[in-house]
Amino acid sequence: MSGGALAGDTAGASAQTADGWRSRWGRLYLQSEGIRGWCLSAPALFVVIAALAVPIGLLVLFSFWTQDYVDIDTTLTLNNYQTIADRTIYLTVFARSVGISGLVTLLTVLLAYPLAYYVAFDVTRHKMVWLVLITLPFWTSYLLRVFAWKIILGYDGVINSGLAWLGVIDEPLSFLLYNPFAVILTLAHAWAAFAILPIYVSLEKIDRSLLEAATDLGDGPLRRFWRVTFPLSMPGVIAAAIVIFIPTVGDYVTPTLVGGPSGLMIANLIQTQFSKANDWPLGAALSIASMVTVTLIACLFVWFSKRATEKIA
Amino acid sequence: MSTIARQGRGYRASYAVLYLAFLYVPVLFLPLFSFNQSIYIAFPIEGWTFKWYGTLLENERLHEALGNSLEIAITSSVLATTLAIFAAKAYTRYRYRGQRLSLGVVMLPMVLPEIIVGVSLLILLNQIGLGLGTHSVIIGHTLICLPFAIAVLMSRMEGFDRNLEEASLDLGEGPVTTFFRVTLPLILPGVVASLLLTFTISFDEFIIAFFLSATDTTLPVFIWSQLRFPQRLPTVLALGACILVFSAILVVFSEWIRRRGHVKAGPGVWN
């Protein structure tokens, strides 16, 4: 039924057809899972498209424009990407960010695994208490958790003043703060729960009879872990790695508070372009370049670790 | 149990305790030094005082920031959870073409660095002339909260028997009544969990608010602005201690709600 015909009808008839249309639509709605599915997810999809897809499209467009003093030149060029490729500072900081985040991911997952294993397999009662204990510190302000490390590692900080008070040192140790090591330590602490929880969930899901079968078939504890438990926990390890790697590459708070000049990361460069340097197109190009780098590395990582798991199992 | 297995368990238990200490000790320095009389955050502690908590009550910019943060966190958590209820239903109850793609799209904000979300929204809002303030932070926070809300609600919806909904439809209730009288009561603990989680994410979020809040400072942006001034640090520490206690209460409360939900739904639903 066309809209024109509907509009031309008398009031009563149009109410009737509207009713007919509504019930037909209602029947169709109930019959087709596809229509129901798309209708119910449409508002969420709309938000993601309007507040993420469109802005990122615009970000890409911006990255091909150039800043011309106060104006923006809208001719499409690759100048910004050329600048990023030419200046070593950008490449250095990119490599450093990826390196720092990679180490943070590795360290956090390695440290978290035994704890997740302990809670999943050894704790029988009060599992929930353990999980709440693990997550509790992460419900406090992220900013303050990072800042806590600044007051711990600082020149006049907790460690230095504590050691001086105890008479262990005469001069404060200056190597603690403002370097990549401080960034790695702080991030490994700040993101710990994001590694523990996914690994715990995948360990918890493992069917215990598989482990018994491995033991019955003569596998020792180590072999059983390597051949059965570890491959089956891989989904959790991969999830943990992705959930930590992606946000930490783009972290701004930690490098700014504890990184110092030698611990600067991508987010600091991006933020500078959007504030002091006021070169939004270059900032956009840096954002896009880092986003593409991060996504590529994450995809490669998932692909490789899946292949590796298949080989072991 | 063999000796080796018991030994392994012993090692893991001591490791777990050490790890918990690593998680807690740095965080607990904040409340510890918030009671220190000296404005310097260093040992030895000079004396104990509550005066920094008193300064919290007088700081008007802090109250304003707290108000903004609460407004933003409540609005975005309600928006994200509402959108997620419908989306999670679509992803768990039906099977249709394009479902996985659609799920992938709504989960995207989870796998993007937040600074990208911040700068891209900054450019968009600037271009369409919508300006910056509370509203723009709400948009950003609703976006990043959405995947978390959907994940929480999907796991809740997968947990209960869909026959209950079908029974209601077969007995002649419409989809809307079925939703309010069957689905919603069953997923209520999930809704509460989602609201608490997304509230916390928004309340704690810094970088998006840093780019988008302009003069409507949120609490994290306010804290950030204070960190540069050593004489204001004790007040920040007192504030941090309050946030710590408040979140602890919130977590324990949400855990309690979740458990009650399990008991109430009964073994028939939770088989």
Q: Are B140 and B212 in contact (CB under 8 A)?
A: yes
Work out the average pLDDT over B242-264: 75
**A165 contacts on B by Cβ (under 8 Å):** 43-44
**A253 contacts on B by Cβ (under 8 Å):** 206-207, 224
CB contact under 8 A, A43 and B87: yes
Of A33, A48, A284, the CB nearest to B146: A48
CB contact under 8 A, A44 and B248: no
- Upstream peptide bond of B44 is cis (omega within 30 degrees of 0): yes
d(CA B35, CA B241): 10
Torsion of CA A164, A169, A174, A180, to 10 degrees: -100
Which of A25, A29, A31, A52 is the best substitution to test chain B (most B C-beta atoms within 10 A)?
A52
Is residue B16 included in any domain, yes or no? Answer: no
| pLDDT, tens digit (0-9, with 9 covering 90-100), for B165-182 | 888 888 888 878 888 888
**B112 contacts on A by Cβ (under 8 Å):** 52, 246, 291
**A162 contacts on B by Cβ (under 8 Å):** 43
Q: Please state the CATH superfamily assignment of the domain spanning residues A80-312 in this structure.
A: MetI-like (1.10.3720.10)
Of A40, A242, A291, the CB nearest to B87: A40
d(CA B50, CA B40): 15
CB contact under 8 A, A139 and B236: no
Q: Report the pLDDT value the prediction gives residue B258, as an integer from 0 to 100.
A: 67
DSSP 8-state assignment for residue B94:
-
| pLDDT, tens digit (0-9, with 9 covering 90-100), for A133-177 | 888 888 778 898 999 999 899 888 888 888 888 888 888 888 888
Of A37, A122, A290, the CB nearest to B99: A37
| 3-state SS class at B24 | helix
Is residue B162 included in any domain, yes or no? Answer: yes
**Total tally of structural domains belonging to chain B:** 1
- Domain spans of chain A? 3-73, 80-312
Is residue B115 included in any domain, yes or no? Answer: yes
CATH code for position B249: 1.10.3720.10
Is residue B149 included in any domain, yes or no? Answer: yes
d(CA A191, CA A105): 9
Give the ipTM.
Answer: 0.84
Q: Report the pLDDT value the prediction gives residue A16, as an integer from 0 to 100.
A: 56
Is residue B136 included in any domain, yes or no? Answer: yes
Is residue B30 included in any domain, yes or no? Answer: no
CB contact under 8 A, B113 and A41: no
Of B29, B40, B115, the CB nearest to A152: B29
d(CA A296, CA B249): 40
CB contact under 8 A, A118 and B26: no
Name beta bridge partners: A73.
A66
Torsion of CA B132, B136, B138, B139, to 10 degrees: 180
Residue found by looking up tokens 């149990």 in the block: B1
Of A33, A122, A298, the CB nearest to B12: A122
Q: Could you read off the pLDDT tens digit of each residue along chain A, which spans 313 residues?
A: 344 444 444 444 455 566 677 677 777 766 778 888 898 899 999 999 999 999 999 999 999 998 887 778 888 889 899 989 999 899 999 999 999 999 999 999 999 999 999 999 888 888 888 988 888 888 778 898 999 999 899 888 888 888 888 888 888 888 888 999 999 999 999 999 889 999 999 999 888 888 888 888 888 888 888 888 999 999 999 999 999 999 999 999 999 999 988 889 999 999 999 998 888 999 999 999 999 999 999 999 999 998 888 887 6
Domain span holding position B158: 35-266
